[in-house]
Amino acid sequence: MTRRVLFMATAMLLNASCSGGNGGEGGFFKNLFKGASRAVPVTVANVYVEERPVLQRFPGKLVAGERTEIRLPFEVVADQVMVNVGDTVLAGASLFHLSEESIQGKLAERRTELTEAQTDLERKQYDLRNRDTLLSSGRITQSDYDSLEEEVEALEKTVQKLETEIQSFESQLDRMTMTAPIAGLIETRNITPGLMYAPDTVLVTIVKVDPMFVEFQLPTNEAASVRTGHQVKVRVIDLGGETLTATVSSVGTAVDAASGALTAHASFPNPTTASKVGMLAEVELAGSNRERLFLVPTDAIFEDGGFQYVFTVVKGIAHRVRVVPRGTRGETTEIVAGLREDDLVVVKGHADLNEGTTVDIWRR
């Protein structure tokens, strides 16, 4: 009786297994021996390693590249001034108008002085040619005799100077309005209508603001990595952090005693003159030190609790790893911490993974 019952039970189990009853496809035995955790199919990719220079940032300020001073070699009186400090002018723009009355008055004075100097010169030249006779006849002293050559030479210089000034005044009468030789910004204005200014006084200073230059201090250990013509990034702080591309134009050779650095300059276009002299800036350039970056497909990264993670695969097992991304280049993201060179990262399928999940790699 016991054997008959056991046979019937076995038959029922076999029938259930063959028919798939209560267990769906595969039947009871398939469900019985099916593993508790199946391997999750995933797509993986290798970590790509890249080395590049470490970016360095240095404070700087905007300065003018070319500075032109307007001055004249004679006394100046203006009857009209057309510009003020801070004005932007084009090349050829009117700066100030000279007083014709003043020029004519100075010209008349110089002509009178020239006539007197020429007369004195002719007399001294006569004395120089006849100084022996004049000395022997007692008409000049030995001291007069000895100084005649110097006096003639001094008078010749005076005549030459006066002739040059007269030519300058005469030519100035044909150009009474002084104009800007370059386009730029009026940095200083030292002339007021009706006042007289001495020769060679700086009357107006114009600074060229296109291109604009940024001046920054470059540590000596970085000087070897920066050359004229190199491209750098310039962030103009006073323009809301606007970033521009500039070209290194010079690197000084004199080391500043206080900072131990070299003074460098880089230029950038400024056609709208939005960048102004004196604005604060920050210069970013590739330094001499190098850093290693790990590049992974952006799809491999997921966020949890405000942090970024990837799943790596080691011997068929998924491991959750926290990473520190920095920048994205198209479909690739830079990772600065968290990965190793030989890591495999999960690109597709990580939504079904947990720490320690067994994975089935479909493709790379």
Q: Label residue 359 by pLDDT band (50, 70, 90).
A: confident
Query: Who wins on pLDDT, 224 or 364?
Result: 224
Claim to verify: residue 314 and residue 224 sit in the same structural domain = no
Least confident of 29-33, 159-163, 352-356, 360-364: 29-33
- Tell me which of 220, 253, 287 is where a domain ends: 287
Residue 182 lies in a domain: yes
Residue 23 lies in a domain: no
Residue 9 lies in a domain: no
Claim to verify: residue 267 and residue 299 sit in the same structural domain = no
Claim to verify: residue 185 and residue 299 sit in the same structural domain = no
Give the pLDDT of residue 200: 93
Claim to verify: residue 96 and residue 176 sit in the same structural domain = yes
Claim to verify: residue 186 and residue 171 sit in the same structural domain = yes
pTM: 0.52
Claim to verify: residue 112 and residue 137 sit in the same structural domain = yes
- Mind listing the pLDDT tens digit for each residue in 156-210? 999 999 999 899 888 888 889 999 999 899 999 999 999 999 999 999 999 998 9
CB atoms < 10 A from the CB of 77, how many? 19
Claim to verify: residue 82 and residue 190 sit in the same structural domain = yes
Claim to verify: residue 226 and residue 308 sit in the same structural domain = no
Q: Is 328 exposed, middle or buried (0-12, 13-18, 19+ CB in 10 A)?
A: exposed
- Mind listing the pLDDT tens digit for each residue in 317-326? 999 999 888 8
Give the pLDDT of residue 3: 43
Claim to verify: residue 193 and residue 79 sit in the same structural domain = yes
- Tell me which of 166, 197, 228 is where a domain ends: 197
273 Cβ partners below 8 Å, 6+ apart?
A: 88, 185, 209, 210
Residue 16 lies in a domain: no
Residue 34 lies in a domain: no
Residue 10 lies in a domain: no
Claim to verify: residue 95 and residue 190 sit in the same structural domain = yes
Question: What CATH number does the domain containing 346 carry?
Answer: 2.40.420.20
**How far apart (Å, rounded) are the C-alpha atoms in residues 248 and 237?**
19
- Mind listing the pLDDT tens digit for each residue in 279-307? 999 999 876 567 778 889 999 899 888 89
Residue 88 to residues 98, 182, 276, Cα–Cα distance (Å) = 21, 11, 11
Residue 206 lies in a domain: no
Claim to verify: residue 301 and residue 248 sit in the same structural domain = no
Claim to verify: residue 144 and residue 223 sit in the same structural domain = no
Q: What tokens appear for 208 in the block?
A: 């060229």
Give the pLDDT of residue 289: 64
Residue 222 lies in a domain: yes
* CA proximity to 217, closest of 251, 184, 187: 251
Q: Give me the number of domains the chain comprises.
A: 3
Question: What CATH number does the domain containing 282 carry?
Answer: 2.40.30.170
- Tell me which of 237, 264, 287 is where a domain ends: 287
- Domain with 252, as residue range(s), is 57-64+211-287
Q: Label residue 54 by pLDDT band (50, 70, 90).
A: low
Q: What is the largest CA-CA distance in the chain?
A: 179
